[in-house]
Amino acid sequence: MRLKSLVLTVSVTSALIVSAVLAQSSNGVKAAGKRYLPEYTASGDLILPKHFHEWVYVGSPLTPNALNNGKANFPEFHNVYIEPGSYEIYKKTNEFPEGTIFFKELQLTLPAQPPDGSRTEPSGRGYFPGPFNGGDVTVKDSKRYATTGGWGYYNFNHHEPKAPTATLRPKEECGYCHMASAKKDEVWTQFYPLLDK
Ligand code: HEC
């Protein structure tokens, strides 16, 4: 009787272990295999990437008006995200894979108290995030964007709501600057510690 219950316990336990291992490995495969790749319209415009707020956040450069003679090109926080499946690959290979998407969402600072454009909140004096204000996107595809070093540049409005689709921007408008001064493969990894390796 005791032996019987021991055998039962052992077999139930091992069944549980087996199913736990199976569950873990199928989750693992799912997480590693799943990527959101760029989607295009029939005419070749880029479709606004889906669920980018759930991507991997890498940093928020800030160039407020008050520090740029009152007229910064982008006075907002620039919240930058990378598509998570591409990030997984980058961590292993140290290269941005084909199909990598970066989303730079612009986010206004809350109304300021002059003269330096900052405001005081319980945490101190500084700049505090307010409403979203459009976004810029880059996509890696060496063939499709061969003339701009393998990256495509898109603007989805500099206001809300973001445009549902965007047309490719010429090199003179975007790519030239990234090609000249971004640290790694046209990405400003110098500002994103998570990617700067
Ligand atoms: C004069 C230089 C310059 C031009 C022109 C420019 N960018 Fe950038 N871009 C930057 C800098 C610097 C950063 C990182 C720091 C920041 O956001 O302030 C950046 C960051 C980005 C990022 C975040 C990912 C990354 O590469 O770091 C995206 C996406 C982006 N730019 C898209 C665009 C698009 C689309 C255009 C054209 C509509 C454009 N950029 C034009 C300088 C430029």
pLDDT tens track for 9-63: 444 444 444 444 444 444 434 445 689 999 999 999 999 999 999 999 999 999 9
User: Can you say how many angstroms the Cα of residue 158 is from the centroid of all Cα atoms in its chain?
Assistant: 18
Mean pLDDT of 117-123: 93
Contact by Cβ (8 Å): 64, 127: yes
Measured between alpha carbons, how far is residue 162 from residues 82, 88, 137, 142 in Å?
18, 27, 11, 26
CB 137 within 8 A of CB 23: no
Pocket test for ligand 1, best of 105, 107, 127, 138 (most atoms within 8 A of CB): 138
Mean pLDDT, to the nearest integer, of 114-142? 94
Assign 117 a pLDDT band (cuts: 50, 70, 90).
confident
Indicate if ligand 1 lies below 6 Å from the C-beta of 55: no
Residue 7 pLDDT greater than 80, yes or no: no
pLDDT class of 4 with cuts at 50, 70, 90? low
For residue 55 the two structure tokens come to 């991507």
Task: Give 67 or 6, the one with higher predicted confidence.
Answer: 67
- Predicted local distance difference test score (pLDDT) of residue 22: 40
| CA–CA dist 38, 52 (Å, integer) | 12
pTM of the model: 0.86
* CA 56 from centroid of its chain's CA atoms: 5
How does DSSP classify residue 146?
A: G
Provide the token pair at 181: 């001064």
Domain ranges of the chain: 48-191
pLDDT score for 52: 98
69 phi, psi to nearest 5 deg = 50, 30
Predicted confidence at residue 28, as pLDDT, reads: 39
Ligand 1 in reach of 189 Cβ (< 6 A): no
Q: Which residues pair with 121 in a beta bridge?
A: 124
> What is the SS3 assignment for 75?
coil
Nearest CA to ligand 1 atom 16: 61
Please report, as a single letter, which amino acid is at residue 5.
S
Which range has the worst mean pLDDT, 1-5, 38-42, 168-172? 1-5
Find out whether the beta carbon of 57 lies less than 6 Å from any atom of ligand 1. no
Q: Residue 28, SS3? A: helix
Domain 48-191: give its CATH code: 3.50.70.20
Cβ 140 under 6 angstroms from ligand 1: no
